[in-house]
Structure 1
């Protein structure tokens, strides 16, 4: 067992540990921004699941030196023990009434964080070229390059994160079929994947106020910009600030041969000028994200939503439309009221021209065991058509 620390003189966190009487160090990688573990235990195939679970719960990281596939089995065993421990809490939360849906949400996020903390204690080594030096380990070099960029020395990373890298690489390689687009979108690691298609159907079906110019604010994978281009909009300016999203959107636009119609621009919310159609699908829940990919779900203090609404009148033509794609899940969770949303429209000088609604189709909407079932089963996603309110 050894203590670890982030070396203050370096710009990256470093894990230090003792193994076989020799001191070692390696870069610590965590996309969730988790600090380096304070204690490290060398572990291999002889470690029993109960002992591993106890050590992980106590805050000891397990640096794996055994078979890779056995490490995966151990991670599954840890997950089962967490599920058994939280079964009664989950059952109680699933019975929460509408009045305490907000409490259920915060308990759910707390349980998710605790689960991530324990499961994140099983660590794998990465060599300087992103190889995993373990028996039966897969080749994760390309997945690591896509997520981390060029290698800069040996590292330690949680097995859970490695599995996330592998999954993201497969999504990027295979793509996500988008029926409304008639093609696939290839999400990059850390960029939210458009798996929920109902909001895309809203954009595909809403009457276009123009086919000349549109802005796509916070483009992410570029899926909405591509959809507008396929619907015949001659020019779309798609914006984002996240480097991964910008690279992802540009790659998808080129892959779909839409680069003559779509320009991807790095900027905060709006590009210069005005457009007769401005589209935005901001994060739906006003809460703090715990990782980069969650930034597409959680919007602290509704910053992006309110920024879009406040800036829309200055970037929308007088007779144009702003399309806001937003779920009302936050309302059912007690995080925002419909009155709050309508008041934000009014404060920005906007008026509602119309609204299209759709029910979610994802499995959790019908899962009565889900702790947020009451809210998810009532959720509606809307495309709000907004215009600039005429001066009195």
Structure 2
């Protein structure tokens, strides 16, 4: 987000209603009081942001969205506005990442993991700092991957493999006969590359364009003692050569990410999906397969029809061998209060097994 154009000083005496009004107007509040009180103020701002439309029992119900796509865009718009408002509460940092506030935690390790070595004093939103702390906990504790029987440790800015159903699809799909070399396109944390190596692929080439992801994957693969079996390559989509198996789990929704972490969810104009399908046939060995792991949430939201996906298969010279489906198990799939509940409840994640047409 751009730096705020106006900043005022706030402290323990600043009323939450005043702080919320200023934040909504785009005025940032640079905190000079007790750190724990700043956290309480942020919670108060969040409550006001989440209930800003409540006007009592007699309030007129908002007009329902005309379509699932409209509901999705309104939801993203509301989430973006909420994020901008909550980002207006700022905390100061010294050059060594010390926070010069009463009862402030030691976040030097947290900030070093996310930002690298500190060079000069700066300010950041408290909401961002809490996100860094959460990312540090993910990295420290890891995510249990049942299909691996191991934990994967995501780094800050690298999407966490918390949706285990797509990993299970890769664990259960039958491998191509005599497959020895695999490509993992957009490896992220390295979870699928590790799984393919554990399934017996002699060599796996895993690609990504994000240096954070490559660093994260390298650390995970070394921890799993798979560093010699999996080679990490900084590349956009495919490495050089051909493989017996090529796996890709691209972002599932066409759209523009509003933060770097959202690049694992939103793919502008389906660029990665289209690039993978357009280049897949040319990188497959004879008899090889490409595995596309993709949710149909975009279809239920009216963002990308099934016909468009099938047309991309045809344009890429690809034929479908089989499709393996699984229903998501994450909490939002059963949350009736979610604005996108209807689409999430109908969502299916699929592993499409594709081959090059003869």
TM-score, with normalisation over the residues of structure 1?
A: 0.88
Q: State whether structure 2 residue 38 is matched by structure 1 residue 71.
A: yes
Once the two structures are overlaid, the 10-residue window that deviates more, 80-89 or 341-350, is 80-89
Q: Which residue of 2 aligns with 1:16?
A: none
Q: Which residue of 2 aligns with 1:53?
A: 20
**Residue among 134, 137, 142 paired with 2:104:** 137
Q: Which residue of 2 aligns with 1:162?
A: 129
- Equivalent residues, number: 353
**Residue among 88, 99, 113 paired with 2:80:** 113
Distance 1:180 1:331 in 2: 28
- Compared CA separation, residues 382 and 251, structure 1 to 2 (3 A): same
**Residue among 311, 321, 330 paired with 1:353:** 321
Distance 2:157 2:13 in 1: 35
- Compared CA separation, residues 299 and 86, structure 1 to 2 (3 A): farther
**Residue among 305, 325, 342 paired with 1:337:** 305
**Residue among 41, 56, 73 paired with 2:8:** 41
Q: Which runs of 4+ in 1 moved over 3 A?
A: 86-89
Q: State whether structure 2 residue 195 is matched by structure 1 residue 231.
A: no
**Residue among 251, 268, 271 paired with 1:300:** 268
Structure 2: state its 5+ residue gaps.
Answer: none
- Give, in angstroms, the shift of residue 87 of structure 1: 5.4
Distance 2:95 2:227 in 1: 37
**Residue among 194, 198, 208 paired with 1:240:** 208
Q: How does 1:271-350 map to 2 (within 5 A)?
A: 271-350=239-318
Deviation sequence 1:347-369 (CA, Å, 0-9, x none): 01001110000000011111111
Q: Which residue of 2 aligns with 1:374?
A: 342
Q: Which residue of 2 aligns with 1:221?
A: 189
Q: Which residue of 1 aligns with 2:149?
A: 182
> Counterpart of 2:67 in 1: which secondary structure?
helix
- Give, in angstroms, the shift of residue 283 of structure 1: 0.2
Deviation sequence 1:314-360 (CA, Å, 0-9, x none): 11112100000000000000000000000000001001110000000
- Give, in angstroms, the shift of residue 262 of structure 1: 0.5
Distance 2:53 2:307 in 1: 35
Distance 2:76 2:102 in 1: 35
- Give, in angstroms, the shift of residue 231 of structure 1: 1.0
- Compared CA separation, residues 217 and 87, structure 1 to 2 (3 A): farther
Distance 1:296 1:200 in 2: 15
Distance 1:272 1:177 in 2: 32
Q: Which residue of 2 aligns with 1:265?
A: 233
Distance 1:377 1:85 in 2: 27
Q: CA RMSD in A?
A: 1.3
> Counterpart of 1:40 in 2: which secondary structure?
strand
**Residue among 140, 147, 170 paired with 1:203:** 170
**Residue among 362, 367, 370 paired with 2:330:** 362
TM-score, with normalisation over the residues of structure 2?
A: 0.97
Distance 2:54 2:339 in 1: 11
- Compared CA separation, residues 234 and 86, structure 1 to 2 (3 A): farther
Structure 1: state its 5+ residue gaps.
Answer: 1-33
Q: Which residue of 2 aligns with 1:193?
A: 160
Q: Which residue of 2 aligns with 1:212?
A: 180
Deviation sequence 1:243-281 (CA, Å, 0-9, x none): 100100111100110012100111111011000100000
